[in-house]
Structure 1
């Protein structure tokens, strides 16, 4: 029995259907892949900071991070001297930060909300890190008070420049614990430290936008 071949019209219709499906699926797939890549970059940079904390405790023979290089901006940046690529000042930021940032839920985000640093460095791996003086009480115990905050854009000035995608922040306590901040309301995270907290709670798997907040504080629904 002779098999019937596709006509040109049928072939064009089939290709059109395939193209439509691809147009619908590929952007979503690429977004998922890009988000995962950025989350991995964040995780790797956090691991580097954690290693620096451990090293400082050994070198300084102390458990109090205020007695280490994490106590001030100059000594903190010196820890990353071998992996530093660029240095930025408050008046010259284009090599380190994006021109503008926005939040996942919509709207713009200003770095001024995070007390912009006088200086920042861009590492050779592309990430920008900045040392800020932390004021957040992580617990009622004085020893848990944040010593500093680290603001990080995992790919520097490159896009997407979105809080919770490539811009994050985390606090380092006096005893060397890294943590984020709880969300102030249900919905998407609004600040770099809230988004960091949410991402860590989800094991560095990027949550759906509507569930991108601290699940310890709010039900996902």
Structure 2
């Protein structure tokens, strides 16, 4: 009995189907691989920044009592020095030499153009174009590996693990943590009477979310993506 070979048409149809399936699945495979890389990068940056906080705390020998980064820009610059950040939106040498009555707003390095992402140039996991408080844009350091560290309002710190490169999306390459009051150890939640944290809360509205220890996992999977920060470090 002779075996019937595939016709050219059948071969082309099969190859076409394979191509369609590959085109549908390959982007997902690539994105998943990138996301795993971003998670590893965030864990690395979280560890590096935690060490910098600890080193500055040990040198100062005191807890930081202020509620907001704007009130402690000298502390921010000390952290930046420990991070060995080659670029910053702050002129830290001038800020560390400030005298009473001086203001950090007079010592911004706007010519270097190192700042947090412009409004609507970064996104949450739902593809919402994000805004942030422009008063904190320049409180940003760019590390040697290209990562951006931004000191935002109310002790929040934003991290973009691959800097200005895409996807610039919360929960993928953008994450947060906070430095709780009376603490030298970064965390993702506050202790005390208010267990809720609000990343990007200075802008609020659709640009923020209320996270607790009981809902951050759901937010990571199906929400804004801010909940991925504690999920990737604490679990």
- Normalising by the smaller structure, the TM-score range is 0.5 to 0.7
Distance 2:136 2:24 in 1: 39
Structure 2 unmatched ranges of 5 or more: 66-71, 90-107, 190-195, 199-205, 229-235
Determine helix, strand or coil for the equivalent of 1:130. Answer: strand
Match of residue 85 from structure 1: 86
Matched, 1:73 2:81: no
How large is the RMSD of aligned CA atoms in angstroms?
3.8
Distance 2:73 2:47 in 1: 15
Match of residue 109 from structure 1: 130
Match of residue 139 from structure 2: 119
Asked if structure 2 preserves the Cα contact closer than 8 Å seen for 1:164 and 1:192, the reply is no
Match of residue 154 from structure 1: 161
Q: What is the TM-score normalised by the length of structure 1?
A: 0.66
- The structure that is strand-richer by fraction is 1
Deviation, 1:130, is 2.2
Determine helix, strand or coil for the equivalent of 2:165. Answer: coil
Structure 1 residues 21, 207: closer, same or farther in 2, change over 3 A? farther
Deviation, 1:213, is 6.3
Q: What is the TM-score normalised by the length of structure 2?
A: 0.63
Asked if structure 2 preserves the Cα contact closer than 8 Å seen for 1:198 and 1:213, the reply is no
Deviation, 1:159, is 1.2
Q: State the Cα deviation string for residues 172-219 of structure 1 (Å, max 9, x = none).
A: 1222232235477xxxx9549959x899x66xxx9433484659xxxx
Deviation, 1:70, is 8.9
Count of residues in Structure 1 that have an aligned counterpart in Structure 2:
188
Q: State the Cα deviation string for residues 38-85 of structure 1 (Å, max 9, x = none).
A: 22211110011122234345545x47356xx9972221211122xx23
Deviation, 1:153, is 1.5
Matched, 1:179 2:180: no
Asked if structure 2 preserves the Cα contact closer than 8 Å seen for 1:101 and 1:109, the reply is yes
Structure 1 residues 3, 208: closer, same or farther in 2, change over 3 A? farther
Distance 1:127 1:33 in 2: 19
